Homo-oligomer: A and B are copies of this chain.
């Protein structure tokens, strides 16, 4: 309530509501939650003087007419709190109302005066009037009850004052007055804040990326959706939730790239799937070598039967052969010589790619068309999208597009490939992206990992930004993986899958711990699948598949690993060992990870655990059960020795087993 113009205000509202959390950018953006999570709302609520203030949290799902209401609890120093649960996907709103609670103020003062032996006749009369006013707002039995209490409190009623005070102080009167008492000059928080409520998969997901064209069991043959179908059981068995394909559209032939990004491809080379569009079609078409639309729909449905969602890669860029170039030339920039502007990062030129021009005069049609690309694939059953380079398209476009799509299906999931500057990455999340790639691939040292994961999980950023941790992608084979070999792959897998409730791998290359760069210093793969078809031996033994499967199984079985908010790092007296834990509320399920970051040497050190904060008795014996190796460690006290050999498994994923049987537990001791 502002006071610029007295005519538009009721100056008798005295309660102030401010400092509301969570609130992103003054309410400009929603916070994010998944079904089953809750929202704890905090606010500063107070009034002048000493009257009692009552505060309620109001919330509703967008499909509901009426607001639901929860009383807020007063914490210290005028800070209030209440929590509501997210029961379904869609949009929730929340706000706060507060008022001077006249009845509660009156009761508080009555009690003090009565205890101090002050005459409270007039006070009781005032109380009777409050009850009567409430009675006139109530009906039936409640109204009768209030009137009867009021009449007994009136001076003319002969019952003793102490009895009158007892009536006034009864919990029944408090209850009735909470229901029917006047909300005296109610103040309402000036904003309604919003929650984007999403499916659990938005928060907890394991992604497996593969190129469908490499799915063929026959060397030299282009893979198909049908080949992918045959691989579904293997991928499902590994415990993944999402199977993600690079673009599946016709590939341009102009300036087509050859093996290892060569500008001079050999005839028959397939080109990069990200050079989207050819005479056969663009973003709504399927590369004919992969199969038909029917094949694709079939695959989506077969995958879902096995617990896998198919994720498509939406890359809004065009090869020179894309139908848009011909049909919608105004969506591309022209150079002064009349040619179309290709992508460039001066002095480098990418003549196989035409960027879309978001400053086109015809931007509205462009926005609508791009949205319709998502809609097309939604109609084919796709619910999960990985968006390529979203930071090179208008940030406002994404906000609009995702919001429009979520109106149609609030269960959609969008993963932003936002390898870009921090603030743009976060803005994309605010604009609606469900999950995001991030700097995890390049955070390898203990301090780097600790600082970065703390930024992502312990600050306001966690309200809207959900990291998906990828050790590798078709674009990224990090130097850590290049030089660390198999042990590095194992430790990065454990880090990604336990630090992050969501994580992913570029699958076949990861399983085989493929680590050769195109050239020294490069993070590009040698013989990258981006430019050629590969065959993978899906029956090979000794790959990392068993560890991947184990880790995914551990994730599924331990709810502590389904969120990031409880992540805490712990002290280990060795810079090469990192330790952290996650737990469910009340530490019912508690997972402790220790990872050796040195892929070459055995590392050991003393680990310090916050047993008291975990609600444990430091003198008890505690069993830490390593869920990777099934080994069980009996530890006593907060300081324990750990040792990890990278040639074996460079990580522990412990589950705390609280109860350790002792001789007293046997029958013959009883």
A419 in the interface (beta carbon within 8 A): no
Q: List residues 304-336 of chain A with CB under 8 A from any CB of chain B.
A: 335-336
Measured CA separation A364–B364 after assembly (Å): 50
Cα(A395)–Cα(B53), bound, Å: 14
Shortest Cβ distance from residue A581 to the other chain B in the assembled complex, whole angstroms: 31
A363 contacts B12, C-beta separation under 8 Å: yes
Q: List chain B residues, Cβ under 8 A from A2.
A: 399
**A421 contacts across to B, CB distance below 8 A:** 46, 77-78
A44 to B344, CA, bound (A): 26
- Name the contact of A346 in the complex, choosing from B1, B11, B109, B399 (C-beta under 8 A): B109
Question: Looking across the interface, which residue of chain B has its beta carbon closest to that of A335?
Answer: B122
Of A55-63, A162-170, A218-226, A386-394, the segment with at least 4 beta carbons within 8 Å of chain B is A386-394
- Structural contact, B129 and A336, CB atoms closer than 8 A: yes
Q: Is A437 an interface residue (CB 8 A)?
A: no
A26: chain B residues at CB < 8 Å are 26-27
When distances are taken between beta carbons in the complex, the residues of chain B under 8 Å from A264 are none
Q: How far is the CA of A335 from the CA of B392 in the complex (A)?
A: 69
Verify B396–A3 contact, CB threshold 8 A: yes
Beta-carbon contacts under 8 Å, A100-150 to B? 100, 108-109, 112-113, 115-116, 118, 122, 125-126, 129
CB-contact partner of A399 in B3, B115, B129, under 8 A: B3
Q: When each residue 18-38 of chain A gets 1 if its CB lies under 8 Å from chain B and 0 otherwise, what string results?
A: 110000011100000000000
B395 close to A11 (CB less than 8 A): no
Cα A359 to Cα B367 with chains together (Å): 53
A122 to chain B, nearest CB (A): 5
- B residues in contact with A3, CB < 8 Å: 396-397, 399-400, 403
Which B residue sits closest to A27, measured CB to CB? B26
**Inside 8 A of A113's CB, which chain B residues have their CB?**
346-347
Contact A427 B347, CB 8 Å, known A6-B364, A48-B393: no
Q: Which of B122, B337, B399 contacts A125 (CB 8 A)?
A: B337
Please state if B424 and A363 are interface contacts (CB–CB under 8 Å). Answer: no
Alpha-carbon gap, A535 to B294, bound state (A): 102
Nearest B-chain residue to A367, judged by Cβ:
B11
Q: Which residues does chain B contribute within 8 Å of A115, judged by CB atoms?
A: 347
CB distance from A450 to the nearest CB of B (A): 20
Residues of B within 8 A of A50 (CB): 345, 392
Shortest A82–chain B CB gap in Å is 18
User: Does A536 have its Cβ within 8 Å of any Cβ on chain B?
Assistant: no
Interface string of A251-280 (1 = CB under 8 A from B): 000000000000000000000000000000
Whether B400 contacts A358 by the Cβ 8 Å rule is no
Inside 8 A of A383's CB, which chain B residues have their CB? none
Is the pair B48, A125 in contact by a Cβ cutoff of 8 Å? no
How far apart are the CA atoms of A436 and B13 in the complex, in Å?
24
Q: Are B46 and A359 interface neighbours, CB within 8 A? A: no
Give chain B residues whose Cβ lies under 8 Å from the Cβ of A118.
Answer: 346-347
Return chain B residues, CB-CB under 8 Å to A25.
18
- State in angstroms the CA–CA spacing of A423 and B47 once bound together: 10
What chain B residues lie within 8 Å of A48 (beta carbons)?
A: 358, 391-395, 424
A586 at the interface (CB under 8 A from B): no
Check A530 for interface membership: any CB of B closer than 8 A.
no
A26 to B26, CA, bound (A): 6
Assess A14 versus B367: contact at CB under 8 Å? Given A6-B400, A347-B118.
no
Q: Mark A70-112, 1 if CB is under 8 A from B, else 0.
A: 0000000110000000000000000000001000000011001
The answer on a CB contact under 8 Å between A337 and B77 is no
Q: Which residues of B contact A1 (CB under 8 A)?
A: 396
Q: Are A122 and B11 in contact (CB under 8 A)?
A: no
Measured between C-beta atoms, what is the minimum distance from A50 to chain B in Å?
7
Q: Beyond A48-B395, A347-B113, A421-B78, is A122–B363 a contact (Cβ under 8 Å)?
A: no
A29 to chain B: closest residue by CB: B18
Interface residues of A in 337-366 (CB under 8 A from B): 337, 339, 344-347, 358-360, 363-364
Q: Does A49 contact B (CB under 8 A)?
A: yes
Partner of A13 from the list B185, B346, B392, B396 (CB cut-off 8 Å) is: B396
> Which residues from B are CB-within-8-Å of A363?
11-12
Pair B14/A394 contact, Cβ less than 8 Å? yes
Nearest B-chain residue to A344, judged by Cβ? B109
A16 within 8 A of B: yes
**Interface check A422, CB cutoff 8 A:** yes
Expressed in whole angstroms, the minimum distance between the Cβ of A45 and any Cβ of chain B is: 9
Residues on B with C-beta less than 8 A from A47 are 395
Q: Are A346 and B112 in contact, CB atoms less than 8 angstroms apart?
A: yes
Contacts of A19 in B (CB 8 A): 423
- Please give the distance in Å from A74's CB to the nearest CB on chain B: 12
B395 A358 Cβ-Cβ under 8 A: no
List CB contacts (< 8 Å) of A363-393 with chain B: 363-364, 367, 391-393
Name the 6 nearest CB pairs between A and B, nearest first: A116-B347, A3-B400, A26-B26, A112-B346, A125-B336, A109-B346
Q: Measuring CB to CB, which residues of chain A are less than 8 angstroms from any residue of chain B?
A: 1-4, 6, 9, 11-14, 16, 18-19, 25-27, 44, 46-50, 77-78, 100, 108-109, 112-113, 115-116, 118, 122, 125-126, 129, 184-185, 335-337, 339, 344-347, 358-360, 363-364, 367, 391-397, 399-400, 403, 421-424, 427
Can you report 6 residue pairs joining A to B where beta carbons are below 8 Å apart?
A6-B367, A11-B397, A12-B363, A19-B423, A50-B345, A77-B421
